[in-house]
Protein backbone atom coordinates (compact mmCIF):
# COMPACT_ATOMS: atom_id res chain seq x y z
CA UNK A 1 0.00 0.00 0.00
CA UNK A 2 1.43 3.37 -0.93
CA UNK A 3 1.59 5.85 1.89
CA UNK A 4 -0.13 9.22 1.77
CA UNK A 5 2.21 12.16 1.54
CA UNK A 6 1.99 15.57 3.13
CA UNK A 7 4.19 18.43 1.92
CA UNK A 8 3.78 21.57 4.01
CA UNK A 9 5.60 24.89 3.92
CA UNK A 10 5.72 28.09 5.95
CA UNK A 11 6.55 31.42 4.35
CA UNK A 12 10.27 32.04 4.23
CA UNK A 13 10.80 34.80 6.74
CA UNK A 14 12.75 38.01 6.11
CA UNK A 15 16.16 37.39 7.59
CA UNK A 16 16.31 41.00 8.81
CA UNK A 17 13.26 40.71 11.05
CA UNK A 18 13.64 39.76 14.67
CA UNK A 19 11.59 36.56 15.06
CA UNK A 20 8.29 37.25 16.79
CA UNK A 21 5.13 35.48 17.73
CA UNK A 22 3.70 35.80 14.19
CA UNK A 23 6.61 33.85 12.69
CA UNK A 24 6.47 31.36 15.54
CA UNK A 25 2.75 30.83 15.02
CA UNK A 26 2.90 29.72 11.37
CA UNK A 27 5.90 27.54 12.04
CA UNK A 28 4.31 25.82 15.05
CA UNK A 29 1.12 25.34 13.03
CA UNK A 30 3.08 23.61 10.26
CA UNK A 31 4.84 21.54 12.92
CA UNK A 32 1.59 20.41 14.56
CA UNK A 33 0.14 19.34 11.21
CA UNK A 34 3.39 17.59 10.28
CA UNK A 35 3.56 15.69 13.55
CA UNK A 36 -0.06 14.69 13.23
CA UNK A 37 0.40 13.43 9.68
CA UNK A 38 3.46 11.45 10.78
CA UNK A 39 1.35 9.91 13.55
CA UNK A 40 -1.17 8.90 10.87
CA UNK A 41 1.64 7.09 9.10
CA UNK A 42 1.92 9.59 6.24
CA UNK A 43 5.23 10.57 4.65
CA UNK A 44 5.87 14.19 5.54
CA UNK A 45 8.11 16.90 4.15
CA UNK A 46 8.04 20.09 6.18
CA UNK A 47 9.85 23.10 4.74
CA UNK A 48 10.68 26.46 6.27
CA UNK A 49 13.46 28.95 5.58
CA UNK A 50 14.62 32.50 5.03
CA UNK A 51 14.09 35.21 2.45
CA UNK A 52 17.47 36.91 2.16
CA UNK A 53 17.51 39.24 -0.85
CA UNK A 54 16.19 42.74 -1.39
CA UNK A 55 16.75 46.32 -0.52
CA UNK A 56 16.21 46.13 3.22
CA UNK A 57 18.85 43.46 3.62
CA UNK A 58 21.28 45.46 1.48
CA UNK A 59 20.66 48.59 3.54
CA UNK A 60 20.92 46.84 6.90
CA UNK A 61 24.18 45.17 5.86
CA UNK A 62 25.59 48.49 4.72
CA UNK A 63 24.69 50.10 8.02
CA UNK A 64 26.62 47.38 9.83
CA UNK A 65 29.60 47.63 7.47
CA UNK A 66 29.12 44.00 6.38
CA UNK A 67 28.62 42.35 3.01
CA UNK A 68 24.97 41.35 2.57
CA UNK A 69 25.96 37.68 2.65
CA UNK A 70 27.91 38.05 5.90
CA UNK A 71 24.97 39.96 7.35
CA UNK A 72 22.56 37.12 6.39
CA UNK A 73 24.89 34.43 7.70
CA UNK A 74 25.12 36.28 10.96
CA UNK A 75 21.34 36.66 11.35
CA UNK A 76 20.09 33.32 10.03
CA UNK A 77 20.71 31.38 13.28
CA UNK A 78 18.22 33.61 15.12
CA UNK A 79 15.52 31.72 13.26
CA UNK A 80 17.03 28.26 13.07
CA UNK A 81 17.89 28.33 16.79
CA UNK A 82 14.39 29.43 17.67
CA UNK A 83 12.97 26.52 15.68
CA UNK A 84 15.15 24.13 17.65
CA UNK A 85 13.96 25.66 20.91
CA UNK A 86 10.34 25.46 19.79
CA UNK A 87 10.72 21.75 18.96
CA UNK A 88 10.05 22.37 15.28
CA UNK A 89 10.50 19.17 13.28
CA UNK A 90 11.19 20.69 9.86
CA UNK A 91 12.86 18.50 7.25
CA UNK A 92 14.65 21.32 5.49
CA UNK A 93 15.60 24.96 6.04
CA UNK A 94 16.12 26.82 2.80
CA UNK A 95 17.91 30.14 2.46
CA UNK A 96 17.41 32.01 -0.81
CA UNK A 97 21.12 32.83 -1.00
CA UNK A 98 22.03 29.15 -1.32
CA UNK A 99 23.25 28.02 -4.73
CA UNK A 100 20.68 25.22 -4.83
CA UNK A 101 18.06 27.99 -4.92
CA UNK A 102 19.70 30.78 -6.95
CA UNK A 103 20.58 28.38 -9.76
CA UNK A 104 16.98 27.20 -10.05
CA UNK A 105 15.62 30.74 -10.02
CA UNK A 106 17.91 31.54 -12.94
CA UNK A 107 16.89 28.39 -14.81
CA UNK A 108 13.25 29.31 -14.34
CA UNK A 109 13.76 32.89 -15.51
CA UNK A 110 15.48 31.62 -18.63
CA UNK A 111 12.76 29.09 -19.28
CA UNK A 112 9.94 31.58 -18.90
CA UNK A 113 11.87 34.13 -20.99
CA UNK A 114 12.47 31.61 -23.78
CA UNK A 115 8.80 30.79 -23.74
CA UNK A 116 7.99 34.45 -24.38
CA UNK A 117 6.34 35.13 -21.03
CA UNK A 118 8.93 37.72 -19.97
CA UNK A 119 9.50 40.95 -21.88
CA UNK A 120 11.25 44.28 -21.32
CA UNK A 121 9.63 47.70 -21.30
CA UNK A 122 10.17 51.18 -20.02
CA UNK A 123 7.98 51.95 -17.11
CA UNK A 124 7.28 55.10 -15.18
CA UNK A 125 5.45 54.75 -11.92
CA UNK A 126 5.27 55.20 -8.20
CA UNK A 127 7.54 52.95 -6.20
CA UNK A 128 7.33 52.18 -2.51
CA UNK A 129 10.82 51.61 -1.18
CA UNK A 130 9.43 50.16 2.03
CA UNK A 131 7.29 47.58 0.19
CA UNK A 132 9.86 47.12 -2.57
CA UNK A 133 7.28 47.28 -5.33
CA UNK A 134 5.57 49.58 -7.79
CA UNK A 135 2.21 50.77 -6.52
CA UNK A 136 -0.83 52.26 -8.24
CA UNK A 137 -1.90 55.94 -7.89
CA UNK A 138 -4.82 54.73 -5.84
CA UNK A 139 -2.60 52.82 -3.46
CA UNK A 140 -0.34 55.86 -3.08
CA UNK A 141 -3.35 58.04 -2.24
CA UNK A 142 -4.43 55.61 0.46
CA UNK A 143 -1.37 56.72 2.44
CA UNK A 144 -0.66 53.14 3.47
CA UNK A 145 2.68 53.05 1.69
CA UNK A 146 5.87 54.56 3.00
CA UNK A 147 8.85 56.03 1.14
CA UNK A 148 7.02 56.50 -2.18
CA UNK A 149 8.92 57.99 -5.09
CA UNK A 150 8.39 58.33 -8.82
CA UNK A 151 10.69 56.13 -10.85
CA UNK A 152 11.23 55.81 -14.59
CA UNK A 153 13.20 52.82 -15.72
CA UNK A 154 13.43 49.86 -18.06
CA UNK A 155 12.47 46.60 -16.45
CA UNK A 156 11.47 43.05 -17.20
CA UNK A 157 7.86 42.02 -16.85
CA UNK A 158 6.22 38.65 -16.39
CA UNK A 159 3.04 38.20 -18.45
CA UNK A 160 0.86 37.56 -15.44
CA UNK A 161 -2.23 39.14 -17.00
CA UNK A 162 -2.28 36.51 -19.72
CA UNK A 163 -3.20 33.86 -17.13
CA UNK A 164 -6.03 35.78 -15.48
CA UNK A 165 -9.00 33.86 -16.89
CA UNK A 166 -7.27 30.52 -16.46
CA UNK A 167 -6.64 31.36 -12.80
CA UNK A 168 -10.24 32.41 -12.20
CA UNK A 169 -11.49 29.17 -13.74
CA UNK A 170 -9.04 27.15 -11.69
CA UNK A 171 -10.00 28.80 -8.39
CA UNK A 172 -13.67 28.30 -9.15
CA UNK A 173 -13.25 24.64 -9.99
CA UNK A 174 -10.87 23.93 -7.06
CA UNK A 175 -12.56 25.33 -3.94
CA UNK A 176 -9.83 23.84 -1.73
CA UNK A 177 -7.05 25.87 -3.35
CA UNK A 178 -7.49 29.07 -1.35
CA UNK A 179 -8.69 28.63 2.22
CA UNK A 180 -10.56 29.65 4.31
CA UNK A 181 -13.42 30.34 1.95
CA UNK A 182 -13.64 34.07 2.63
CA UNK A 183 -10.06 34.42 1.43
CA UNK A 184 -10.95 32.62 -1.79
CA UNK A 185 -13.77 35.08 -2.35
CA UNK A 186 -11.43 37.98 -1.62
CA UNK A 187 -9.08 36.75 -4.35
CA UNK A 188 -11.89 36.21 -6.82
CA UNK A 189 -12.96 39.80 -6.07
CA UNK A 190 -9.44 41.02 -6.73
CA UNK A 191 -9.43 39.15 -10.03
CA UNK A 192 -12.50 41.06 -11.23
CA UNK A 193 -10.13 43.95 -12.05
CA UNK A 194 -7.86 43.47 -15.04
CA UNK A 195 -4.68 41.78 -13.88
CA UNK A 196 -1.56 43.62 -15.01
CA UNK A 197 1.84 42.11 -15.69
CA UNK A 198 4.37 41.77 -12.91
CA UNK A 199 7.62 43.71 -12.81
CA UNK A 200 10.19 41.07 -11.92
CA UNK A 201 13.51 42.88 -12.22
CA UNK A 202 15.42 45.66 -10.49
CA UNK A 203 18.32 47.46 -12.17
CA UNK A 204 21.56 46.72 -10.38
CA UNK A 205 22.32 50.44 -10.30
CA UNK A 206 19.48 50.75 -7.78
CA UNK A 207 19.66 47.38 -6.05
CA UNK A 208 22.54 44.97 -6.33
CA UNK A 209 21.55 42.40 -3.70
CA UNK A 210 19.54 39.85 -5.61
CA UNK A 211 19.74 37.00 -8.08
CA UNK A 212 21.18 38.15 -11.38
CA UNK A 213 18.83 37.87 -14.36
CA UNK A 214 20.53 35.29 -16.62
CA UNK A 215 19.66 37.05 -19.90
CA UNK A 216 20.58 40.57 -18.74
CA UNK A 217 23.37 40.98 -16.24
CA UNK A 218 22.45 44.57 -15.47
CA UNK A 219 19.45 43.39 -13.50
CA UNK A 220 18.61 41.33 -10.44
CA UNK A 221 15.38 39.43 -9.77
CA UNK A 222 12.49 41.02 -7.88
CA UNK A 223 12.53 39.53 -4.39
CA UNK A 224 9.05 37.94 -4.50
CA UNK A 225 9.67 36.21 -7.84
CA UNK A 226 12.83 34.81 -6.26
CA UNK A 227 11.29 33.92 -2.87
CA UNK A 228 8.21 32.02 -4.07
CA UNK A 229 10.38 29.63 -6.04
CA UNK A 230 11.80 28.27 -2.76
CA UNK A 231 8.75 26.02 -2.50
CA UNK A 232 9.97 24.01 -5.48
CA UNK A 233 13.73 24.60 -5.48
CA UNK A 234 13.96 23.01 -2.01
CA UNK A 235 12.24 19.81 -3.13
CA UNK A 236 14.33 19.18 -6.19
CA UNK A 237 12.66 21.04 -9.05
CA UNK A 238 15.25 21.17 -11.83
CA UNK A 239 17.74 19.10 -9.86
CA UNK A 240 16.09 15.92 -8.57
CA UNK A 241 12.97 15.08 -10.55
CA UNK A 242 12.15 11.96 -8.51
CA UNK A 243 12.17 13.95 -5.28
CA UNK A 244 10.20 16.76 -6.85
CA UNK A 245 7.44 14.56 -8.19
CA UNK A 246 7.33 12.75 -4.85
CA UNK A 247 6.40 15.94 -2.97
CA UNK A 248 4.85 18.49 -5.31
CA UNK A 249 2.15 19.88 -5.01
CA UNK A 250 1.86 20.76 -1.34
CA UNK A 251 0.17 22.93 1.24
CA UNK A 252 1.34 26.51 1.82
CA UNK A 253 0.56 28.00 5.21
CA UNK A 254 0.76 31.78 5.13
CA UNK A 255 -0.51 34.92 6.87
CA UNK A 256 -3.34 36.87 5.27
CA UNK A 257 -1.03 39.78 4.34
CA UNK A 258 0.78 37.66 1.76
CA UNK A 259 -2.27 36.08 0.18
CA UNK A 260 -2.05 37.99 -3.12
CA UNK A 261 1.57 37.11 -3.75
CA UNK A 262 0.77 33.44 -3.18
CA UNK A 263 -2.59 33.08 -4.84
CA UNK A 264 -1.92 35.37 -7.84
CA UNK A 265 1.82 35.73 -8.47
CA UNK A 266 2.81 32.20 -7.52
CA UNK A 267 -0.07 30.41 -9.23
CA UNK A 268 0.47 32.25 -12.52
CA UNK A 269 4.21 31.56 -12.31
CA UNK A 270 3.34 27.88 -11.98
CA UNK A 271 1.02 28.14 -15.00
CA UNK A 272 3.93 29.58 -16.99
CA UNK A 273 6.10 26.68 -15.87
CA UNK A 274 3.33 24.23 -16.73
CA UNK A 275 3.41 22.83 -13.21
CA UNK A 276 0.45 21.81 -11.05
CA UNK A 277 -0.82 24.47 -8.64
CA UNK A 278 -0.48 23.99 -4.87
CA UNK A 279 -2.97 21.71 -3.20
CA UNK A 280 -3.91 24.43 -0.72
CA UNK A 281 -2.90 27.95 0.19
CA UNK A 282 -4.17 28.48 3.71
CA UNK A 283 -4.10 32.04 5.04
CA UNK A 284 -4.34 32.52 8.78
CA UNK A 285 -5.16 35.77 10.57
CA UNK A 286 -2.97 38.06 12.60
CA UNK A 287 -1.99 38.07 16.18
CA UNK A 288 -3.01 41.45 17.49
CA UNK A 289 -1.99 43.25 20.63
CA UNK A 290 -5.07 45.00 21.85
CA UNK A 291 -6.60 46.19 18.60
CA UNK A 292 -3.42 46.76 16.62
CA UNK A 293 -1.13 44.53 14.61
CA UNK A 294 2.15 43.69 16.18
CA UNK A 295 4.88 45.64 14.54
CA UNK A 296 8.37 46.80 15.22
CA UNK A 297 7.41 50.45 14.80
CA UNK A 298 4.60 50.18 17.33
CA UNK A 299 6.98 48.48 19.73
CA UNK A 300 4.37 45.89 20.72
CA UNK A 301 6.07 42.79 19.44
CA UNK A 302 5.79 39.73 21.65
CA UNK A 303 9.01 37.79 21.70
CA UNK A 304 8.36 34.08 21.90
CA UNK A 305 11.58 33.46 23.79
CA UNK A 306 10.47 35.59 26.72
CA UNK A 307 7.32 33.52 27.12
CA UNK A 308 9.18 30.25 26.72
CA UNK A 309 11.63 31.19 29.42
CA UNK A 310 8.80 31.91 31.80
CA UNK A 311 6.33 29.14 31.02
CA UNK A 312 8.01 26.49 28.88
CA UNK A 313 7.87 25.68 25.19
CA UNK A 314 4.85 23.40 25.23
CA UNK A 315 2.66 25.87 27.09
CA UNK A 316 3.44 28.49 24.43
CA UNK A 317 2.75 26.06 21.60
CA UNK A 318 -0.50 25.03 23.25
CA UNK A 319 -1.66 28.59 23.79
CA UNK A 320 -0.98 29.71 20.22
CA UNK A 321 -2.75 26.69 18.73
CA UNK A 322 -5.74 26.70 21.06
CA UNK A 323 -6.37 30.43 21.13
CA UNK A 324 -6.45 31.31 17.44
CA UNK A 325 -9.44 30.19 15.41
CA UNK A 326 -7.58 29.34 12.24
CA UNK A 327 -8.37 31.99 9.64
CA UNK A 328 -9.43 34.75 12.06
CA UNK A 329 -7.37 37.30 13.95
CA UNK A 330 -6.65 36.65 17.60
CA UNK A 331 -5.72 38.88 20.45
CA UNK A 332 -2.58 38.22 22.36
CA UNK A 333 -2.45 39.39 25.95
CA UNK A 334 -0.32 38.05 28.79
CA UNK A 335 -3.51 37.87 30.90
CA UNK A 336 -5.13 35.66 28.27
CA UNK A 337 -2.12 33.44 28.17
CA UNK A 338 -2.13 32.94 31.93
CA UNK A 339 -5.87 32.40 32.02
CA UNK A 340 -5.78 29.66 29.41
CA UNK A 341 -2.70 28.06 30.88
CA UNK A 342 -4.26 27.91 34.33
CA UNK A 343 -7.65 26.67 33.19
CA UNK A 344 -6.70 24.16 30.46
CA UNK A 345 -3.25 22.98 31.42
CA UNK A 346 -2.98 23.43 35.19
CA UNK A 347 -6.62 22.82 36.26
CA UNK A 348 -7.97 20.43 33.64
CA UNK A 349 -5.14 18.43 32.09
CA UNK A 350 -2.42 18.66 34.75
CA UNK A 351 -4.84 18.18 37.58
CA UNK A 352 -6.34 15.03 36.07
CA UNK A 353 -2.89 13.50 35.86
CA UNK A 354 -2.13 14.43 39.47
CA UNK A 355 -5.43 13.00 40.63
CA UNK A 356 -5.28 9.64 38.90
CA UNK A 357 -1.62 9.03 39.64
CA UNK A 358 -2.10 10.15 43.26
CA UNK A 359 -5.09 7.84 43.79
CA UNK A 360 -3.55 4.87 41.97
CA UNK A 361 -0.48 5.46 44.14
CA UNK A 362 -2.49 5.57 47.33
CA UNK A 363 -4.91 2.68 46.76
CA UNK A 364 -3.13 0.44 44.23
CA UNK A 365 0.58 0.87 45.01
CA UNK A 366 0.96 2.83 41.79
CA UNK A 367 -0.17 -0.11 39.64
CA UNK A 368 -2.90 0.47 37.04
CA UNK A 369 -5.99 -1.49 38.20
CA UNK A 370 -8.13 -3.53 35.79
CA UNK A 371 -11.62 -2.50 34.65
CA UNK A 372 -14.39 -5.06 34.17
CA UNK A 373 -18.19 -4.74 34.01
CA UNK A 374 -18.31 -1.07 33.12
CA UNK A 375 -21.18 0.98 34.53
CA UNK A 376 -23.20 3.37 32.40
CA UNK A 377 -21.09 6.32 33.54
CA UNK A 378 -17.89 4.44 32.71
CA UNK A 379 -19.25 3.56 29.31
CA UNK A 380 -20.16 7.16 28.56
CA UNK A 381 -16.52 8.17 29.07
CA UNK A 382 -15.34 5.17 27.12
CA UNK A 383 -17.46 6.04 24.07
CA UNK A 384 -16.42 9.69 24.19
CA UNK A 385 -12.78 8.55 24.42
CA UNK A 386 -13.14 6.00 21.65
CA UNK A 387 -14.70 8.57 19.31
CA UNK A 388 -12.04 11.19 20.01
CA UNK A 389 -9.45 10.08 17.50
CA UNK A 390 -11.88 10.15 14.57
CA UNK A 391 -13.15 13.60 15.50
CA UNK A 392 -9.68 15.06 16.01
CA UNK A 393 -8.47 13.55 12.77
CA UNK A 394 -11.32 15.03 10.75
CA UNK A 395 -10.85 18.47 12.33
CA UNK A 396 -7.09 18.54 11.80
CA UNK A 397 -7.37 17.42 8.19
CA UNK A 398 -9.75 20.35 7.78
CA UNK A 399 -7.22 22.79 9.37
CA UNK A 400 -9.42 23.30 12.45
CA UNK A 401 -6.63 23.00 14.95
CA UNK A 402 -8.28 25.04 17.69
CA UNK A 403 -11.47 22.96 17.41
CA UNK A 404 -9.47 19.72 17.53
CA UNK A 405 -7.78 20.84 20.75
CA UNK A 406 -11.11 21.84 22.19
CA UNK A 407 -12.50 18.38 21.44
CA UNK A 408 -9.63 16.84 23.43
CA UNK A 409 -10.16 19.27 26.31
CA UNK A 410 -13.87 18.45 26.32
CA UNK A 411 -12.99 14.86 27.08
CA UNK A 412 -10.60 15.94 29.85
CA UNK A 413 -13.29 18.13 31.37
CA UNK A 414 -15.86 15.33 31.14
CA UNK A 415 -13.44 13.00 32.91
CA UNK A 416 -12.83 15.50 35.68
CA UNK A 417 -16.60 15.73 36.20
CA UNK A 418 -16.89 11.96 36.13
CA UNK A 419 -14.19 11.74 38.81
CA UNK A 420 -16.16 14.18 40.98
CA UNK A 421 -19.35 12.15 40.55
CA UNK A 422 -17.79 8.74 41.05
CA UNK A 423 -15.45 9.88 43.86
CA UNK A 424 -13.09 6.88 43.66
CA UNK A 425 -11.40 8.09 46.90
CA UNK A 426 -14.71 7.36 48.70
CA UNK A 427 -15.45 4.20 46.72
CA UNK A 428 -12.03 2.82 47.64
CA UNK A 429 -13.16 2.49 51.25
CA UNK A 430 -16.15 0.27 50.41
CA UNK A 431 -15.57 -1.22 46.94
CA UNK A 432 -11.95 -1.28 45.85
CA UNK A 433 -12.76 -3.07 42.57
CA UNK A 434 -15.21 -0.31 41.57
CA UNK A 435 -12.70 2.39 42.53
CA UNK A 436 -10.11 0.64 40.35
CA UNK A 437 -12.52 0.53 37.44
CA UNK A 438 -13.18 4.27 37.64
CA UNK A 439 -9.47 5.01 37.87
CA UNK A 440 -8.72 2.83 34.86
CA UNK A 441 -11.38 4.58 32.77
CA UNK A 442 -10.16 8.04 33.81
CA UNK A 443 -6.51 7.19 33.23
CA UNK A 444 -7.19 5.64 29.84
CA UNK A 445 -9.07 8.76 28.73
CA UNK A 446 -6.13 10.84 29.92
CA UNK A 447 -3.73 8.61 28.00
CA UNK A 448 -5.69 8.95 24.77
CA UNK A 449 -5.84 12.72 25.19
CA UNK A 450 -2.11 12.88 25.78
CA UNK A 451 -1.45 10.70 22.72
CA UNK A 452 -3.47 13.12 20.60
CA UNK A 453 -1.91 16.20 22.20
CA UNK A 454 1.53 14.95 21.28
CA UNK A 455 1.50 16.92 18.04
CA UNK A 456 0.81 20.12 19.98
CA UNK A 457 2.92 19.54 23.09
CA UNK A 458 5.57 17.04 22.05
CA UNK A 459 7.51 17.11 25.27
CA UNK A 460 4.82 17.32 27.94
CA UNK A 461 2.47 14.87 26.25
CA UNK A 462 5.31 12.39 25.84
CA UNK A 463 6.10 12.83 29.52
CA UNK A 464 2.49 11.99 30.47
CA UNK A 465 2.64 8.86 28.34
CA UNK A 466 5.93 7.91 29.95
CA UNK A 467 4.45 8.35 33.43
CA UNK A 468 1.57 6.10 32.37
CA UNK A 469 3.97 3.54 30.86
CA UNK A 470 2.08 3.87 27.58
CA UNK A 471 4.39 5.52 25.06
CA UNK A 472 3.30 3.35 22.16
CA UNK A 473 -0.18 2.30 23.19
CA UNK A 474 -1.92 3.53 20.04
CA UNK A 475 -4.89 5.78 19.47
CA UNK A 476 -7.80 3.49 20.22
CA UNK A 477 -9.52 2.84 23.51
CA UNK A 478 -7.95 0.19 25.73
CA UNK A 479 -4.25 0.82 25.06
CA UNK A 480 -3.45 1.37 28.74
CA UNK A 481 -2.53 -1.95 30.32
CA UNK A 482 -3.68 -3.00 33.78
CA UNK A 483 -0.68 -4.02 35.84
CA UNK A 484 1.51 -1.19 34.56
CA UNK A 485 3.51 0.59 37.24
CA UNK A 486 3.13 4.37 37.06
CA UNK A 487 6.20 6.57 37.32
CA UNK A 488 6.50 9.08 40.15
CA UNK A 489 6.35 12.67 38.91
CA UNK A 490 6.08 16.28 39.97
CA UNK A 491 3.21 18.46 38.68
CA UNK A 492 3.62 18.99 34.93
CA UNK A 493 1.83 22.32 34.74
CA UNK A 494 2.16 24.18 38.03
CA UNK A 495 -0.40 26.96 38.34
CA UNK A 496 0.84 30.43 37.46
CA UNK A 497 0.20 32.59 40.49
CA UNK A 498 -0.53 36.13 39.40
CA UNK A 499 1.11 38.77 41.48
CA UNK A 500 -1.79 41.15 42.16
CA UNK A 501 0.63 43.99 42.82
N1 LIG B 1 9.43 36.99 3.16
C2 LIG B 1 8.03 37.11 3.02
C3 LIG B 1 7.40 35.77 2.70
C4 LIG B 1 7.91 35.11 1.46
S5 LIG B 1 7.17 33.55 1.24
C6 LIG B 1 7.66 33.06 -0.28
C7 LIG B 1 7.43 37.65 4.32
N8 LIG B 1 8.15 37.47 5.42
S9 LIG B 1 7.75 38.01 6.88
O10 LIG B 1 8.82 37.60 7.72
O11 LIG B 1 7.47 39.40 6.84
O12 LIG B 1 6.42 37.38 7.28
C13 LIG B 1 6.18 36.05 7.24
C14 LIG B 1 4.87 35.66 7.84
O15 LIG B 1 4.70 36.11 9.17
C16 LIG B 1 3.66 36.14 7.05
O17 LIG B 1 2.87 35.01 6.78
C18 LIG B 1 2.95 37.05 8.00
O19 LIG B 1 1.57 36.97 7.86
C20 LIG B 1 3.37 36.48 9.33
N21 LIG B 1 3.17 37.46 10.37
C22 LIG B 1 3.84 38.63 10.55
N23 LIG B 1 3.24 39.29 11.60
C24 LIG B 1 2.19 38.58 12.06
C25 LIG B 1 1.33 38.66 13.17
N26 LIG B 1 1.31 39.68 13.98
N27 LIG B 1 0.48 37.62 13.38
C28 LIG B 1 0.51 36.48 12.63
N29 LIG B 1 1.32 36.36 11.61
C30 LIG B 1 2.00 37.47 11.14
O31 LIG B 1 6.34 38.16 4.30
DSSP output for 11-56:
EEEETTSPP-HHHHHHHHHHHHHHHHHHHTT-EEEEEEEEE--SHH
CA of 222 to the centre of ligand 1 (A): 18
**Higher per-residue pLDDT: 27 or 148:** 27
Distance CA 132, CA 148 (A): 10
13 close to ligand 1 (CB < 6 Angstrom): yes
Cis before 180? omega within 30: yes
Does the pLDDT at position 501 exceed 70?
A: no
CA of 11 to the centre of ligand 1 (A): 7
Question: Which ligand 1 atom lies nearest to the CA of residue 253?
Answer: 17
Helix (H, G, I), strand (E, B) or coil at 202: strand
Q: Which residues on neighbouring strands pair with residue 123, listed in sequence order?
A: 153
**338-467, superfamily in CATH?**
Isoleucyl-tRNA Synthetase; Domain 1 (1.10.730.10)
pTM over 0.85: yes
Residue of the CA atom closest to atom 17 of ligand 1: 255
- Categorize the per-residue pLDDT at 333 as very low, low, confident or very high, splitting at 50, 70 and 90: confident
Distance CA 485, CA 467 (A): 9
Question: Which ligand 1 atom lies nearest to the CA of residue 17?
Answer: 10
CA of 432 to the centre of ligand 1 (A): 57
What pLDDT, on the 0 to 100 scale, is given for residue 2? Answer: 64
CB 211 within 8 A of CB 233: no
219 close to ligand 1 (CB < 6 Angstrom): no
Q: Which residues on neighbouring strands pair with residue 157, listed in sequence order?
A: 119, 199
Does the pLDDT at position 55 exceed 70?
A: yes
Question: 388-395 long-range CB contacts below 8 Å, 24 or more apart?
Answer: 388/448, 388/449, 388/452, 389/448, 389/452, 389/475, 389/476, 392/452, 393/40
Tell me what the pLDDT averaged over the chain comes to. 94
CA of 456 to the centre of ligand 1 (A): 21
292-293, strands of its sheet edge to edge: 292-293, 287-289, 330-331
Could you give the angle at which helices 313-323 and 458-467 cross, rounded to 10 degrees? 110
pLDDT per position as a tens digit, 118-168: 999 998 889 887 777 788 888 888 888 888 999 899 999 999 999 999 999
Question: Which ligand 1 atom lies nearest to the CA of residue 294?
Answer: 26
Q: Which residues contact 283 (CB under 8 A, 6 or more apart)?
A: 178, 179, 180, 183, 254, 255, 256, 258, 259, 262, 327
- Domain regions of the chain by residue span: 338-467
What pLDDT, on the 0 to 100 scale, is given for residue 143? Answer: 81
Does the pLDDT at position 295 exceed 90?
A: no
293 close to ligand 1 (CB < 6 Angstrom): yes
Question: Which ligand 1 atom lies nearest to the CA of residue 256?
Answer: 19
Distance CA 336, CA 319 (A): 9
Distance CA 369, CA 170 (A): 58
Q: How much of the chain exceeds pLDDT 90, in percent?
A: 85
Secondary structure element (H or E) that encloses residue 148, with its range = strand 148-158
Amino acid sequence: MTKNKFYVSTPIYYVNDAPHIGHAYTTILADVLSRFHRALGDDVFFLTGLDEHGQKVQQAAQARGLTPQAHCDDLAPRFSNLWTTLEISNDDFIRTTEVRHTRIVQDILQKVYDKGDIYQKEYEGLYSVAEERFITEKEAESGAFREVKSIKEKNYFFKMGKYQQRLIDYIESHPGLIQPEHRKNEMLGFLRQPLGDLCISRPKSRLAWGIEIPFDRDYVTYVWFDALINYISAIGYGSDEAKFSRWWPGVHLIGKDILTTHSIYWTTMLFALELPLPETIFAHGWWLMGESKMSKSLGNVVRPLDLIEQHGVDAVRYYLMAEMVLGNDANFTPENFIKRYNSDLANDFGNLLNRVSGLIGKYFDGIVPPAHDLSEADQAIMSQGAALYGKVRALLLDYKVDAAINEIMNLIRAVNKYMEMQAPWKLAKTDLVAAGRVLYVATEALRLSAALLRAVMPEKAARVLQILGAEDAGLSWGGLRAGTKLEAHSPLFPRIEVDKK
